[in-house]
Amino acid sequence: MIRLHDTLARAKREFVPADPKRITMYVCGPTVYGRAHIGNARPAVVFDLLRRVLEHAFPEADVIYARNVTDVDDKIIASAEEEDVDTAVITERYERHYLEDMGALGVNPPTIAPHATHEIGPMIAMIETLVARGHAYAAEGHVLFSVPSDPEYGVLSKRDREQMIAGARVEVAPYKRDPADFVLWKPSPDTVVGWDSPWGRGRPGWHIECSAMIRAHLGETIDIHGGGLDLIFPHHENEIAQSRCAHGGAPLARYWVHNGFVDMGAEKMSKSLGNIVTPGELLEAGHKGEVLRLALLSGHYRQPLPWTTSLMAQSKAILDGLYRKAGGAGAGEIDDGVMEALYDDLNTPLALSRLGQIADATTLKATANFLGILLESEKAWFRGGGDGSEVDARIEERNAAKKARDFATADRIRDELKAEGILLEDGPGGTTWRRA
Ligand SMILES: [Zn+2]
């Protein structure tokens, strides 16, 4: 039995899919205008793990995991203007980076990756439905969702009206009937990306894309909707309102799962605060993807995760230990104790502590692989980056020197390699090496 903390219920609930053969999960994906930071990588890793756990718990079911790509947005338009390029140049570049970075962190591609710019039709159709049902109105080229038209608005964030208006940082605009109303569609001048619509040439607001893409790809009501804590309000609150009002009251999601922030010092890591660390720069600096993945899973997903260099060092040391212990073992059975911890609202701290206690190498290997780590061979792991051919060439040189009884040269090569952090081990099968 899987239990998940549901933000809507403010409680852990047993997860029972609506259809045992088809489990649907949607997670709000990246807005592709810059490199993802570690805070953005956390939901990608957490929901990748949740998907694996669902597939393990429901082997008979198709787990359909959709993660969208927001490729039309004011920040994308601003970046494109700054570089004087088409918005597609920006979005394609940063989507590619995102997929590479997440791939290095062991995040498998989602089942479906809908792009906002390919889904304008379904968005316009949903906005038309909302207008027809009296939940939205057109004004000065905009279409706005009428918050007072939805008596259940605020159900997820449980904010009162004053907090909602303050939290949404909504612009006061003359075309709004109510200050809490939010934009579904806005006009685009000729110089900016836009699409024809019943309200003139324009582009969608951010919130409508998720509601429309969920409807188009997964259905009116999905099992799990996920994302970072910062999306609860206003984004997910608005998604709920749009979808429920467009679908005659059907709820958008049966479980709402939110991950906590990654903190830098005492602050949340965020682009606007300028305190970000990106997986891209950490990978380039020689940190391995598995180290970053383990670091991101080391804390419980709902708690804030302080990002420090010692967290990465600890994760590296844990992985070194696990690689030594697993040695060259093949993958056996997945450990029940680890799965039990994961089934309980993805308790990764407990799961990882149990992983460390597994005595059997094949069980350790299989369980670690399930978590997305220990995927390299022990040899490749300790050799670090690169293919090591340069080191092999110098070992050959040393072997030749030894054969020629030139021990001074042989020792010199060994010492030089040691100074570079490469340790040689002479054994009966020849010389092997690893990075210190
Ligand atoms: Zn969303």
pLDDT, one tens digit per residue, over 106-162 is 999 999 999 999 999 999 999 999 999 999 999 999 999 999 999 999 999 998 877
Q: Residue 231 C-alpha to ligand 1 middle, in angstroms?
A: 8
Torsion of CA 34, 37, 43, 48, to 10 degrees: 90
Encoding tokens for residue 327? 């040695």
Please compute the mean of the pLDDT values over residues 90-112 and round it to a whole number. 97
Indicate whether 436 pLDDT > 80: no
Q: How far lies 34's CA from each of 117, 120, 211, 278, 293, in Å?
A: 18, 23, 24, 10, 21
> What integer pLDDT is reported at residue 128 of this predicted model?
98
> What integer pLDDT is reported at residue 164 of this predicted model?
75
Indicate whether 390 pLDDT > 80: no
Residues, beta carbon < 5 Å, ion ligand 1: 28, 210
What's the chain's average pLDDT? 94
Longest dimension (CA), the chain: 92
> What integer pLDDT is reported at residue 167 of this predicted model?
66
> What integer pLDDT is reported at residue 256 of this predicted model?
98
> What integer pLDDT is reported at residue 388 of this predicted model?
66
> What integer pLDDT is reported at residue 168 of this predicted model?
63
Identify the residue with better confidence: 396 or 181.
181
Helix (H, G, I), strand (E, B) or coil at 153: coil
Q: Residue 382 C-alpha to ligand 1 middle, in angstroms?
A: 40
Please compute the mean of the pLDDT values over residues 255-262 and round it to a whole number. 97
429: confidence class by pLDDT, cuts 50, 70, 90: confident
Q: Give me the helices (H) in 271-403, please.
A: 279-284, 289-297, 309-326, 336-343, 348-357, 361-371, 378-383, 389-403
Q: Residue 238 C-alpha to ligand 1 middle, in angstroms?
A: 9
